[in-house]
Structure 1
Amino acid sequence: MQQSPRPTPSRTVHVIGAGPAGLMAAERLAQAGATVVVHERMPSVARKMLMAGRGGLNLTHSEPLDRFTTRYGSAQPTAAAWIDRFTPTDLTAWVEALGQETFVGSSGRVFPRAMKASPLVRAWLARLSELNVEIRTRSRWVGWRDRALAFETPDGERLERPDAVVLALGGASWPRLGSDGVWAPWLEAAGASVTPFRPANVGFDVAWSPLFRDRFAGQPLKGVAVTHGDRTARGEAMIARYGIEGGAIYALSAALRTTVETDCRADIQIDLKPDVAVGKLTDRLSKPRGKASLSNHLRKAVGLDPAAVALLYEAGPLPASPRAIAERIKATPLTLTGVQGLERAISSAGGVALDGVDERLMLKARPGVFVAGEMLDWEAPTGGYLLQASFASGVVAAAGVIDWLDSRD
Structure 2
Amino acid sequence: MPDTSTAQPPPIAIIGAGPAGLFAAECLSRKGHEVHLFDHMARPGRKFLMAGRSGLNLTHSEPLEQFLQRYGTARDWLEPAIRQFPPEALRHWAEGLGEPCFTGSSGRVFLTSLKASPLLRRWLARLQEQGVRFFPRHRLTGMQGLSLTFRTPEGSVHHTPRAVILALGGGSWARLGSDGQWAALLPDRCAPFAPSNCGFMPDWPEEFLLRHEGATLRGITLGLADQTHRGDLIITKRGLEGAPLYALSAPLRQALAQPGEKAVTVSLNLRPTLEPSRILDRLARQRLHESRSNRLRKALGLDRTMRELLSQLCPEARTPDELTRAVTQAPLRLVAPAALDRAISTAGGLKRDALDETFMLRHQPGLFACGEMLDWDAPTGGYLLQACFSTARHCADGVHHWLSHPLTGKMKP
TM-score, length-scaled by structure 2: 0.91
- CA contact 1:143–1:183 (8 Å) conserved in 2: no
SS across alignment from 2:405: helix
Amino acid at match of 2:51: A
**How far is the alpha carbon of 1:289 from its aligned partner?**
5.4
Q: How is 1:43-54 mapped onto 2 (pairs within 5 angstroms)?
A: 43-54=42-53
- What is residue 67 of structure 2 aligned with on the other side? 68
Cα distance in 2, alignment partners of residues 62 and 305 from structure 1: 35
Q: Does 1:364 align with 2:362?
A: yes
- What is residue 264 of structure 2 aligned with on the other side? 266
Amino acid at match of 1:299: R
- What is residue 5 of structure 2 aligned with on the other side? none
- CA contact 1:25–1:394 (8 Å) conserved in 2: yes
Q: How is 1:8-407 mapped onto 2 (pairs within 5 angstroms)?
A: 12-145=11-144, 147-188=146-187, 193-262=189-258, 263-288=261-286, 293-317=291-315, 319-407=317-405
Q: Which moved more, 1:109-118 or 1:19-28?
A: 109-118
- CA contact 1:197–1:348 (8 Å) conserved in 2: yes
**How far is the alpha carbon of 1:211 from its aligned partner?**
4.6
Cα distance in 1, alignment partners of residues 13 and 141 from structure 2: 14
SS across alignment from 2:181: coil
Change (3 A) 1:296 1:211: farther
Cα distance in 2, alignment partners of residues 241 and 304 from structure 1: 22
Amino acid at match of 2:267: Q
Cα distance in 2, alignment partners of residues 146 and 258 from structure 1: 35
Cα distance in 2, alignment partners of residues 388 and 146 from structure 1: 30
Amino acid at match of 2:79: A
**How far is the alpha carbon of 1:210 from its aligned partner?**
4.4
Per-residue CA deviations over 1:16-67 (Å, capped at 9, x if unaligned) read 0001111110111111111111101011111111112222222111111111
SS across alignment from 1:337: strand
Cα distance in 2, alignment partners of residues 68 and 235 from structure 1: 20
SS across alignment from 2:391: helix
Change (3 A) 1:311 1:80: farther
- CA contact 1:40–1:140 (8 Å) conserved in 2: yes
Cα distance in 1, alignment partners of residues 204 and 14 from structure 2: 46
Cα distance in 2, alignment partners of residues 337 and 290 from structure 1: 36
Q: Which moved more, 1:289-298 or 1:52-61?
A: 289-298
Change (3 A) 1:300 1:60: farther
- CA contact 2:286–2:299 (8 Å) conserved in 1: no
- What is residue 411 of structure 2 aligned with on the other side? none
SS across alignment from 1:69: helix
Q: Which runs of 5+ in 1 are unaligned?
A: 1-8
Cα distance in 2, alignment partners of residues 321 and 51 from structure 1: 47
Percentage identity across aligned positions? 45
Per-residue CA deviations over 1:170-202 (Å, capped at 9, x if unaligned) read 1111122212222223224xxx62111111112
SS across alignment from 1:149: strand
Cα distance in 1, alignment partners of residues 175 and 284 from structure 2: 53
- In angstroms, what is the RMSD of aligned CA positions? 2.0
Per-residue CA deviations over 1:128-171 (Å, capped at 9, x if unaligned) read 11111111111111122564111112222221111111100011
Amino acid at match of 2:171: A
Cα distance in 1, alignment partners of residues 396 and 10 from structure 2: 13
Q: Which runs of 5+ in 2 are unaligned?
A: 1-7, 408-413
SS across alignment from 2:72: helix
SS across alignment from 2:71: helix
**How far is the alpha carbon of 1:296 from its aligned partner?**
4.3
**How far is the alpha carbon of 1:242 from its aligned partner?**
2.5
- CA contact 1:207–1:243 (8 Å) conserved in 2: no
Cα distance in 1, alignment partners of residues 10 and 298 from structure 2: 69
TM-score, length-scaled by structure 1: 0.92
- What is residue 3 of structure 1 aligned with on the other side? none
